């Protein structure tokens, strides 16, 4: 085993670009068969609608005070609680998906999403709203790992980077859909913001039908041949315990790296509409257009950087994109007029570009036996660490009051907190990526560290050599 010093000294050398030939992306698209395309599309739309449901709240911030008699600052707690409960869903549904398959845990999770999103539209008090959104966070937390594994674990190795970026583009795509439907429902019904959530509960029904038509992924079916056939909750719980025991350091590293990325994402998205509205005086339509253009940049950035990571490496691509995003953060925060479209486009290009590499990077780093658990849990723990981001920005923004607009409500300039915190997080992610591991091209079924059917307390044994491996 490499010492810590030798490992760190080796990090710079491992950042060298791979020598793989660059392949035309159109040829990569043709590598997937019909079933692999169906699995990818299911994962993409599931992740897109997850983002739609989440951003339905952030886009409706200005409408909540009149309903719940709370300030926009107080309404951020609903988002914070939803972010905080997401790891619960990642742990529960990730463990179930690794033990019982991707299909039925996904369907159960979608049923919970339908219930909690629909219930959001019927809440009458602030306490009810916060409680329902916290429960929604549990359901939302179970989607990412399952959807990512379904979409990507059967992808041909050469196409993984591209399809990882395309998959992650579902997040800004969901944001675009939420923006469009928010404008479609706003001021067109007597129920205010509520129809957006009633509508949001419907598409998961289609996802359930879609999933019922698909079998388990090939990778999971191959894995099942190596697993114990004892199917009970006690065994599933023991496997989650085993995963945390044997892979706690990987979970810790991934969680803290993803926390920095989550800060960058939420810092530049959630409160930015408030900046456009009250700092620059943009109308709702104007602000929506800026956000949609930014999200289009995010979709392109996610797809492009995911594709490039296949040839330049996952970590090097993350570092380069963070450098560019950090350089653009000041123009993003302090440019108005026509230039705001370009800054929004390119900043979200970088923010979502970093995320475009994440799905396949996590899948490759995760042990095959616990892939959904590690991917989903580390992602949601990172979100948990970043959950105070909106509250931090709102609190720091109190130092920068805007001139009164005559409405009797005091508004604040959040640009400095957004830029300062996001810039610091870009630098943090660069450091975390530089010191971290990478396993580009790893197999999707089993390797010598496979420990899927080991009882808690036992040591894993190589299936090819019969040698017992100790964990350090």
Q: What is the CATH number of the domain that holds 46?
A: 1.20.1250.20
**pLDDT at residue 22, as a whole number:** 82
Give the DSSP letter string of 365-391. HS-GGGHHHHHHHHHHHHHHHTTTHHH
Say which DSSP state 291 is in. Answer: H
Say which DSSP state 193 is in. Answer: T
Structure tokens at 273: 């509409």
**Do the domain assignments include residue 77?**
yes
Of residues 47, 40, 320, the one with CA closest to residue 169: 47
Of residues 290, 283, 262, the one with CA closest to residue 392: 262
**pLDDT at residue 456, as a whole number:** 34
Task: Indicate the number of domains in the chain.
Answer: 1
Q: Is the pLDDT of residue 241 over 50?
A: yes
Is 56 within 8 Å of 198 (Cβ atoms)? Answer: no
For the entire predicted model, the pTM comes to 0.83
**pLDDT at residue 143, as a whole number:** 93
**pLDDT at residue 460, as a whole number:** 37
Q: Is the pLDDT of residue 462 over 60?
A: no
Distance CA 227, CA 198 (A): 41
Q: Is the pLDDT of residue 226 over 70?
A: no
- Quick one: pLDDT band at residue 17, thresholds 50, 70, 90? confident
**pLDDT at residue 227, as a whole number:** 56
**Do the domain assignments include residue 9?**
no
Q: Is the pLDDT of residue 432 over 90?
A: yes
- For 331-378, the pLDDT digits (tens) are 998 988 889 999 999 999 999 999 999 999 999 988 877 788 888 889
- For 379-422, the pLDDT digits (tens) are 999 989 998 888 889 889 889 888 877 776 788 889 999 999 99
Residues 314-335, mean pLDDT to the nearest whole number: 94
**Do the domain assignments include residue 293?**
yes
Q: φ and ψ at 402, to 5 degrees?
A: -90, 155
- For 116-173, the pLDDT digits (tens) are 999 999 999 999 999 999 999 999 999 999 999 999 988 998 899 999 999 999 999 9
**Do the domain assignments include residue 7?**
no
- Quick one: pLDDT band at residue 446, thresholds 50, 70, 90? low
Residues 63-79, mean pLDDT to the nearest whole number: 79
**pLDDT at residue 387, as a whole number:** 84
**pLDDT at residue 465, as a whole number:** 30
Higher pLDDT among residues 4 and 181, named by residue: 181
Q: What is the mean pLDDT of the chain?
A: 84
Say which DSSP state 275 is in. Answer: I
Residues in the chain: 472
**Do the domain assignments include residue 188?**
yes
Of 72-86, 89-103, 393-407, which one has max mean pLDDT?
A: 89-103
Distance CA 387, CA 67 (A): 24
Q: CB-side exposure of 61: number of CA atoms within 13 Å?
A: 25
Q: φ and ψ at 401, to 5 degrees?
A: -70, 145
**pLDDT at residue 39, as a whole number:** 94
**Do the domain assignments include residue 281?**
yes
- For 106-119, the pLDDT digits (tens) are 999 999 999 999 99
Per-residue b or e along 12-24, where b marks 16 or more CB atoms closer than 10 Å to that residue's CB = eeeeeeeeeeeee
Query: Which residues form the domain of 46?
Result: 33-218+239-402+410-435
Q: φ and ψ at 461, to 5 degrees?
A: -120, 135
Distance CA 315, CA 253 (A): 14
Q: Which residues contact 71 (CB under 8 A, 6 or more apart)?
A: 65
Distance CA 397, CA 412 (A): 6
**Do the domain assignments include residue 22?**
no
Distance of CA 408 to the CA centre of its chain: 38
**pLDDT at residue 162, as a whole number:** 94
- Quick one: pLDDT band at residue 296, thresholds 50, 70, 90? very high
Structure tokens at 333: 């925060």
CA diameter of the chain:
77
Local structure of 1: helix, strand or coil: coil
Higher pLDDT among residues 6 and 208, named by residue: 208
**pLDDT at residue 84, as a whole number:** 86
**Do the domain assignments include residue 354?**
yes
**pLDDT at residue 2, as a whole number:** 56
Is 97 within 8 Å of 372 (Cβ atoms)? Answer: yes
Q: In DSSP terms, which residues pair with 412 in a beta bridge?
A: 401
End-to-end C-alpha distance for the chain, whole angstroms = 9
Residues 269-286, mean pLDDT to the nearest whole number: 86
**pLDDT at residue 409, as a whole number:** 73
Is 322 within 8 Å of 426 (Cβ atoms)? Answer: yes
């Amino acid at each position: 085993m490499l010492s810590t010093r030798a490992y760190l000294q080796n990090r710079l050398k491992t950042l060298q670009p791979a020598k793989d030939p660059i392949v035309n992306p159109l040829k990569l698209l043709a590598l997937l068969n019909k079933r692999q395309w169906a699995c990818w599309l299911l994962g993409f739309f599931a992740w897109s609608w997850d983002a739609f449901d989440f951003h339905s709240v952030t886009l409706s911030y200005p409408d909540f005070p009149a309903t719940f008699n709370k300030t926009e600052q107080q309404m951020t707690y609903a988002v914070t609680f939803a972010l905080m409960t997401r790891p619960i869903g990642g742990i529960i549904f990730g463990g179930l998906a690794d033990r019982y398959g991707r299909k039925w845990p996904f369907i159960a999770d979608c049923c919970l999403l339908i219930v909690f999103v629909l219930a959001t539209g019927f809440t009458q008090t602030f306490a009810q709203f916060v409680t329902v959104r916290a429960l929604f966070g549990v359901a939302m937390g179970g989607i990412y790992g399952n959807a990512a594994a379904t979409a990507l674990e059967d992808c041909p190795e050469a196409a993984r980077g591209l399809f990882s970026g395309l998959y992650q583009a579902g997040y800004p795509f969901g944001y675009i859909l939420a923006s469009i439907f928010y404008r479609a429902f706003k001021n067109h019904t007597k129920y205010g913001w509520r129809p957006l959530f009633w509508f949001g509960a419907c598409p998961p029904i289609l996802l359930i039908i879609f999933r019922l038509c698909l079998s388990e992924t090939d990778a999971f079916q191959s894995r099942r041949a190596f697993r114990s056939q004892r199917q009970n909750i006690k065994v599933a719980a023991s496997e989650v315990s085993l995963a945390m025991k044997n892979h706690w350091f990987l979970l810790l590293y991934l969680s803290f790296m993803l926390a920095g990325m989550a800060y960058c994402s939420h810092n530049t998205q959630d409160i930015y509409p408030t900046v456009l509205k009250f700092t620059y005086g943009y109308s709702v339509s104007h602000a929506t257009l800026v956000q949609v253009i930014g999200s289009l940049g995010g979709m392109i950035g996610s797809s492009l950087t995911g594709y490039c990571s296949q040839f330049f490496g996952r970590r090097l691509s993350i570092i380069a994109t963070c450098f560019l995003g950090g350089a653009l953060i000041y123009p993003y925060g302090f440019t108005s007029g026509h230039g705001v479209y370009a800054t929004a486009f390119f900043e979200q290009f970088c923010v979502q570009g970093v995320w475009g590499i994440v799905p396949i990077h996590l899948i490759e780093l995760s042990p095959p036996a616990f892939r959904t658990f590690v991917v989903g849990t580390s992602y949601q723990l990172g979100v948990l660490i970043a959950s105070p981001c909106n509250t931090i920005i709102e609190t720091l923004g109190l130092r920068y009051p805007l001139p009164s607009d005559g409405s009797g409500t005091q508004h604040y300039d959040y640009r400095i907190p957004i830029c300062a915190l996001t810039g610091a997080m870009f630098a943090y992610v660069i450091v975390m990526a530089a010191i971290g591991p990478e396993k580009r091209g790893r197999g999707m079924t089993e390797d010598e560290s496979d420990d899927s059917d080991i009882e808690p307390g036992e040591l894993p044994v190589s299936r090819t050599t019969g040698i017992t491996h100790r964990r350090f």
